[in-house]
Amino acid sequence: MTRTADETPLALTRRARRTVRELGVLHPDAHCELDFTTPLELAVATILSAQCTDKRVNEVTPALFARYRTAADYAQADRLELEEMVRTTGFFRNKAASLQALGAALVERHGGQVPGRLEDLVQLPGIGRKTANVVLGDAFGVPGITVDTHFGRLARRFGWTSQEDPVKVEHEVGALLPKKDWTLASHRLIFHGRRVCHARKPACGACAIAPLCPSYGLGPTDPEVAGKLLKTPADVATTP
């Protein structure tokens, strides 16, 4: 794990937990931004969200969910029709193939139901560890850390980890935070990464948690300049 020069492991843990609390004040509405009503719908939406905005996925899924209501529906889908329905999410052929394979695997191995265990989820087509943790946390209420590009970037900038591998990031951050907070912490970091702590130019001078961040200064520190970098929900909807 990465700490500031004079920071003990205990101090790092305390800072990490305080940062998550402060992010909760800053982003009280942090949540999964994919629309869904069932574990299957969330699994499908998360697969479609790869290299695509949540807004675009949410535009596609109402018709998709109405057409394909069960795992068997996806398994038996006409491939060309399915591809057309998810075309605007990008990589539509691969995504359609993953959805069809997922449906077939759920029917064959789990009676058509999405399992609620990580070890079962990661064995399914199209479901990696990140997607599995999204499904567990938001559909089943099982704490999970979702290491997407935003989460990994912020965890490193906060000095919580120096790891690049998502699984190692997940384990190191998980050791700092109470398990019950894992899912919400994931949403808060992702919200902050999309709106404030951008990859190329973080809005350091307009960041409410700057005093807790050892990477302060990577972006402009002038409040007026930094303020112009902040993204609104409408801005966020245009980028993955």
Residues with catalytic roles? 130, 148
Residue type, 72: A
* Residue 59 φ/ψ, nearest 5 degrees: -80, -30
> Helices (DSSP H) in the chain: which residue ranges?
9-26, 39-48, 54-67, 71-75, 79-86, 92-110, 118-121, 129-139, 149-157, 166-176, 182-195, 223-227, 233-236
Q: Please give the structure tokens belonging to residue 240.
A: 């993955």
Single-letter amino acid, residue 158: F
Helices 9-26 and 166-176 meet at what angle, rounded to 10? 90
Residue 54 CB: number of other CB atoms within 10 A?
Answer: 19
Q: What is the DSSP track for 186-224?
A: HHHHHHHHHHTS-SSS--GGG-TTGGG-TTTTSS---HH
Distance CA 80, CA 93 (A): 9
State which amino acid sits at residue 152: G
Classify each residue of 137-153 as buried b or exposed e, where b means 16 or more C-beta atoms within 10 Å of its C-beta: bbbbebbbbbbbebbbb
